[in-house]
Amino acid sequence: MAYYINYFNVSYALPKLDLVAIPDFVSGAMENWGLVTFRETALLYDESTSSSVNKQRVAIVVAHELAHQWFGNLVTMNWWNDLWLNEGFASFLEYKGVKQMHPEWDMDNQFVIEELHPVLTIDATLASHPIVKSIESPAEITEYFDTITYSKGAALVRMLENLVGEEKLRNATTRYLVRHIYRTATTEDYLTAVEEEEGLDFDVKQIMQTWTEQMGLPVVEVEKSGSTYKLTQKRFLANEDDYAAEAEASSFNYRWSIPITYTSSINSEVQSLIFNHNDNEATITLPEEASWIKINTNQVGYYRVNYGSEQWAELISALKNSRETFSTADRAHLLNDANTLAAAGQLNYSVALDLISYLESEQDYVPWSVGTSALATLRNRVYYTDLYTNYTTYARKLLTPIVEKVTFTVAADHLENRLRIKVLNSACSLGHESSLQQAVTLFNQWLASPETRPNPDIRDVVYYYGLQQVNTEAAWGQVWKLYLDESDAQEKLKLMNCLTAVQVPWLLQRYINWAWDESNVRRQDYFTLLGYISTNPVGQSLVWDYVRENWEKLVDRFGINERTLGRLIPTITARFSTETKLEEMQQFFAKYPEAGAGTAARQQALEAVKANIKWLAVNKAQVGEWLANYVQQSSVTNRIQ
């Protein structure tokens, strides 16, 4: 609070502020003025049972809701179409608030993986929406509380801050709050306050309008000739078939005014220019001896970058020679862009796979978070194909050095604990033998004496993969009893997830049936649980069948405008990759056409499955060939050693 009072330069308006945890609460939290309400998992922290992930979640949610006491409560948006102003700004500020309390948590870089990467994925589909859009019904209001509103909103404020400078953005924010105190305001009002800052030699409103009024994002394509780099832009879509689709009308014709930042092999100082939406191209000139250019420094800009193959090769070579050449966020950015561009058919897959292989020498949480997520996506894509064996060989080889470094022994370091859970989860999911053995040993020790639980920071891995490997009805029954008796909300969620790991179909089916009873699973956790079960390959079809057969019952219980009901569909169908599954979805949607707050979620689900089908058709052969070569070379290298 002291930090925010100082940041906004406006004192807190009320005589008190209470934070209250509510046992069954549909949202994560709600910023009621002076009396903020939370889910228990978003507020209650206990040294002995909470993990580093839990700790950060509590810190982030509290920081978000406290920021709303100014941005949202003291000044409120005029109408729901400007919801991004409230939620995007609070989502941006929560990182500053937590950074103030925990500078060692590296929140600036965590922003990239927690907010930016997930929303770039959604915004690259036709199911996206502009962050400012007309809202005309209660269902639309509910649906609007989504990743685009929160995370794209936050990412655009971050880009704006980088463009105008931190001090100017702060001054403008104070001016805006003071000017509209106890009243409502609009996006236009906020941008007016920014524009009034001295010394800005560009049109803030016009630049920002290209981002707030149209959905989607650009990819900047870089073409080198001599010492000149020519930049062009086009809308980035994850599925190339969508380029032929009829685009929703856009006032800027899907062109953006892009704040370009860059560094190069000969100058680590950040340079910048603005690539205006009405220019066909922008150019950068570097001295001849520059071997590489890296555009979008620390990924502060809301856009992707694609280079020519020689430029990619130079970047990968620099990265492999010394990863410290690039900042933490830049390494995360290169991984994220290369994988996304390859999956979209805009970059040769060998570039992305070659780039990921630098992870063998990576030690930091943020790039590894992108790495494990890229490995998981690939795993899901090839899971039912003959590429799977070679793929696991490749992925385990990348993971082995870091797994051996972090081990199952927990440290005091927050980021190392976050890294540990990511890489151990990834290793276990890919059948990494020693990690699975360790998980089973600790799991059996725990079940033998349940009062001595594993450390909170490895509990998720031990519980989940322990039960998956032991896989008996007796073990499942024992964990179920512990789950029912558990009163700590965070621990209860860990146990709830553990129970979804079992590979026995009838046990999973029984779990689905038992979950309907609120004395077994709280209403707030019901859809979370079904989502967990659906990520288990054995449980996926069980949940899909159950939801289709019981749709009317679900709507009766939760209501068609319950957004978590709508979001369940893309969660269950995320890994579907056949025409048959796509037809099943289309038939289901035709049978129950009314989607309420899940309208956009249905479209997202269909797009994701079409993209999965397309991925296999376009990339399977190429990826298969690369992996086969990799495995062959690795075995030759091993024999020589």
DSSP annotation string for 277-346: TT-S-EEEE--TT---EEESGGG-SSSEEE--HHHHHHHHHHHHH-GGGS-HHHHHHHHHHHHHHHHTTS
Cβ distance 286 to 266 under 8 Å? yes
Q: What is the mean pLDDT of residues 360-389?
A: 96
Give the global pTM.
0.94
How would CATH label the architecture of 217-307?
Answer: Sandwich (2.60)
d(CA 9, CA 177): 9
Residue 325: exposure state from Cβ atoms within 10 A (0-12, 13-18, ≥19): middle
pLDDT(495) > 90: yes
pLDDT(639) > 70: no
Pairing of the two strands 183-185 and 75-77: parallel
Q: What is the mean pLDDT of residues 563-588?
A: 95
Rounded to an integer, what is the distance from CA 354 to the centroid of its chain? 23
Q: What is the pLDDT of residue 14?
A: 97
Cβ distance 398 to 371 under 8 Å? yes
- 429 Cβ contact list (under 8 Å, min separation 6): 376, 379
Local structure of residue 112 (DSSP, 8 states): I
The ranges of the chain annotated as CATH 1.25.50.20 are: 504-640
Cβ distance 111 to 158 under 8 Å? yes
Q: Does 504-640 carry CATH code 1.25.50.20?
A: yes
By three-state DSSP, how is residue 458 classified? helix
pLDDT(517) > 70: yes
- Tokens 């994925």 map to which residue? 121
Q: Which among 299, 234, 214 has a CA at the least distance from the CA of 262?
A: 299
β-partners of residue 75 are 71, 183
Q: Does 1-213 carry CATH code 3.30.499.10?
A: no
d(CA 532, CA 509): 13
E strand segments, 462-609: none
Region for 455 from its dihedrals, namely left if φ exceeds 0, alpha if ψ lies in -120 to 50, beta otherwise: beta
pLDDT(141) > 80: no
Q: What is the pLDDT of residue 144?
A: 63
Region for 439 from its dihedrals, namely left if φ exceeds 0, alpha if ψ lies in -120 to 50, beta otherwise: alpha
Read off the pLDDT of residues 33-73 as tens digits, 9 standing for 90 and up: 999 999 999 999 998 899 999 999 999 999 999 999 999 99
Q: What is the pLDDT of residue 117?
A: 97
Report the 10 Å Cβ neighbour count for 88: 27
Q: What is the pLDDT of residue 613?
A: 94
Cβ distance 284 to 232 under 8 Å? no
The ranges of the chain annotated as CATH 2.60.40.1910 are: 217-307
By three-state DSSP, how is residue 510 classified? helix
Read off the pLDDT of residues 239-289 as tens digits, 9 standing for 90 and up: 888 888 877 888 899 999 999 999 999 999 999 999 999 999 999 999 999
To the nearest whole percent, how much of the chain has pLDDT over 90?
Answer: 87
To the nearest whole percent, how much of the chain has pLDDT over 70?
Answer: 99
- Tokens 């929703």 map to which residue? 248
pLDDT(132) > 90: no
Known binding positions for Zn(2+):
64, 68, 87
Rounded to an integer, what is the distance from CA 479 to the centroid of its chain? 30
Instruction: Report residue 145's pLDDT band, with 50, 70 and 90 as the boundaries.
Output: confident
Cβ distance 463 to 469 under 8 Å? no
Cβ distance 103 to 207 under 8 Å? no
The backbone torsions φ and ψ at residue 348, rounded to the nearest 5 degrees and listed phi first, read -60, 130
What tokens does 525 get?
A: 């956790």
User: What angle in degrees, to the nearest 10, is found between the helix axes of 489-498 and 473-485?
Assistant: 160
Q: What is the mean pLDDT of residues 199-203?
A: 93
- 170 Cβ contact list (under 8 Å, min separation 6): 7, 9
d(CA 69, CA 74): 6
Cβ distance 479 to 467 under 8 Å? yes
Read off the pLDDT of residues 406-429 as tens digits, 9 standing for 90 and up: 999 998 899 999 999 999 999 999
Q: What is the pLDDT of residue 637?
A: 72
Read off the pLDDT of residues 433-464 as tens digits, 9 standing for 90 and up: 999 999 999 999 999 999 999 999 999 999 99
Average pLDDT of the chain? Answer: 94
pLDDT(538) > 90: yes
- Tokens 């978590």 map to which residue? 564
Q: Mean pLDDT lowest for which of 17-31, 98-112, 321-335?
A: 17-31
pLDDT(195) > 90: yes
Q: Mean pLDDT lowest for which of 309-318, 387-396, 523-532, 561-570?
A: 561-570
Q: What is the pLDDT of residue 640?
A: 61
The ranges of the chain annotated as CATH 1.10.390.10 are: 1-213
Residues recognised as catalytic? 65
Read off the pLDDT of residues 334-364 as tens digits, 9 standing for 90 and up: 999 999 999 999 999 999 999 999 999 999 9
β-partners of residue 20 are 37
